[in-house]
Amino acid sequence: MKVFDKTWKLAVAGALVGVLAALLAYFGNPANMAICIACFVRDTAGALKLHSAAPVQYFRPEIVGFAVGAFAISLATNEYKATEGSSPMIRFVLGAIMVIGALVFLGCPLRMVLRMAAGDLNAYVALVGFAGGIATGSFFLKKGFSLGRAYETQKSSGYVLPVLLLALFIIGAVTGVYAASTEGPGSKHAPVLISLVAALLIGALAQKSRMCFAGSIRDVILMKNFDLLSIIGALFAVMLIFNLATGNFHLSFSGQPIAHSQHLWNILGMYAVGFAAVLAGGCPLRQIILAGQGSSDSAVTFLGMLLGAALAHNFNLVGAAAKAATETEAAVLGGPAMPGKIAVIVCIALLFVIAAANMKRRKK
């Protein structure tokens, strides 16, 4: 059943996701980060003690909701299909690369759009890199890049990730055993029930509309199809209105929450995200949605994202947020330290190797 079979209907889906994102921001999620897949995966990795960065530890109910929402709606509409076998280990690496690149920029493609809607000019700079990465990945797609075919498998295989995430959520809610930040981004969150319900709805909407930030630009490049881009445009418009109405719109490079103005690294970080997303077949959000509707390959990509987030914080690969000078502290320029810069370059080089090594010769 195709609910969103017209461009205007896709725009409605994007607007609804925007309303839900605005609600999450209103009820306590960090400023300019109502939803960020990379940041939420990072916080969840911290809650599970995969890294020890105290300001970013919180088991985000949104991650659970995205997967379970997609899982539930796909079952209800007979779109659930358990598949696996399309180069899972390469996808694992691509997942790690997407999160490492995103954390150098300080946001996934979704948060990039939300930052743009709040007037953060650094996000507009990063969009150049993201689009460039998608264009590079699209070039390799046209030349025959493929990670191979996924095959149908036991239905229960696709149940594993959404059920596991739900079980982990329940364990944390009942026992309180997970690490939790007392300050920093991890300490800022909407009430658990609001976060979970909003994410369930977003997961269902994203599954039905095929929402994908990389796919929207890829389709424009490869097919001149703007349908998926209408989702992103509507989401941006709703969040722009929300930020203007609440006084959270500030058009500038400086003074933006959880951001930095190291433009080269914003561009290169998001270039890696866009490139990896095209090779993997979807942005970080799309990978969670695909995992929810039965793709074990996307579930493996998600696990790569989880490991990538842990590695990024354990080995100082993340970008630091810029801070203005105070009476007691000097200004902080922000951006990635040398390990993060090296990691981005290595990730981009690795993406070219993966793309070139998986070219399929087309029959004449």
Per-residue pLDDT of 109-124, as tens digits, reads 999 999 999 999 999 9
pLDDT exceeding 70 applies to what percent of the chain? 98
pLDDT in tens, 75-116: 999 999 999 998 999 999 999 999 999 999 999 999 999 999
What are the distances in angstroms from CA 101 to CA 98, 290, 300?
A: 5, 21, 18
Confidence of residue 364 (pLDDT cuts 50, 70, 90): very low
Phi, psi for 332 (deg, rounded to 5): -115, 125
pTM above 0.85, yes or no: yes
**Contact assessment for residue 289 and residue 200, using Cβ atoms and an 8 Å cutoff:** no
- What are the Cα distances from residue 131, in Å, to 56, 106, 268, 298, 354? 28, 17, 11, 22, 19
pLDDT tens per residue across span 236-293? 999 999 999 999 999 999 989 999 999 999 999 999 999 999 999 999 999 999 999 9
Mean pLDDT throughout 303-330? Answer: 90
Q: How is residue 220 written in tokens?
A: 């424009």
169-186 pLDDT, tens digit per residue, is 999 999 999 999 999 999
**Where does the pLDDT of residue 31 fall: very low under 50, low under 70, confident under 90, or very high at 90 and above?**
confident
Q: Which of 139-153, 204-218, 321-335 has the lowest mean pLDDT?
A: 321-335
What token pair was written down for 81?
Answer: 């299909």
Percent of the chain at pLDDT > 90 equals 92
Q: What pLDDT sits at residue 263?
A: 97
Binned at pLDDT 50, 70 and 90, residue 363 comes out as very low
Name the E strands within the chain. Answer: 83-84, 151-152, 319-320, 335-336
User: What residues are paired with 319 via a beta bridge?
Assistant: 336
**CA nearest to 102, candidates 275, 243, 299, 221:** 275
To the nearest 5 percent, what fractions of the chain are helix, strand and coil? Answer: 65, 5, 30
The helix (H) or strand (E) run that includes residue 266 is helix 263-280
- Asked whether 192 and 57 are in contact (CB, 8 A), the reply is no
Position 1 scores a pLDDT of 55
Query: Residue 104: which of 270, 254, 257, 256 has the closest Cα?
Result: 270
pLDDT at 33: 82
Residue scoring higher pLDDT (196 or 328):
196
Q: Residue 219: enclosing H or E segment and its boundaries?
A: helix 213-223
CA angle 292, 140, 299 (to 5 degrees): 15
Cα–Cα distance measured from residue 133 to residue 275, given in angstroms and rounded to the nearest whole number: 4
